[in-house]
Amino acid sequence: MTREENFMCEAVRIGVQGMRNNMGGPFGCIIVERDKIVGRGCNSVTSLNDPTAHAEMMAIRDACHKLGRTNLTGCELYTTCEPCPMCMGAIYWSKPDKVYFSNTRYDAKDAGFDDEFIYEQLELPINKRILAMQCVTVEEAKKMFEEWVANNKTLK
């Protein structure tokens, strides 16, 4: 077995364990830095009553907490399924070097996890989406960003 297959099997093991323990759906994820697992997560949506508790989100939170930083540069993410749009956003924000996945989003659809409507909605103009959205501009929001810039805040 290759290094990548070994790490993917660990992500699968975590996903199966979570699924069998009624944590949530059949998804697992690990984060690896220099061949050491620094983050783990299984889908915990139903057990936590949290729609954001996907395996990738849980593993990212775990790794960032353990590493004491908000980015995963120098890390690889192994997930048992092609990430959904929410998880992809978090993955891009966390900046791992590479993402490995096993099942595709089409495999997930066949298992009852269909995110296609989200992909379709994201391609539409804001005023054509099912979820009503409206920009409410207030000066205080702009001032909040100006204060951030003025104080030269940076993320770790």
CB 86 within 8 A of CB 57: yes
Cβ-contact 52, 87 below 8 angstroms: no
CA dist., res. 152 & res. 148, Å (int): 6
CA dist 98 → 24, 77, 143 (Å) = 25, 6, 37
Of 61, 64, 71, 120, which is closest to residue 97 (Cα–Cα)? 71
Would you call 42 exposed, middle or buried from its count of C-beta atoms within 10 A (0-12, 13-18, 19+)?
A: buried
Residues catalogued as catalytic: 56
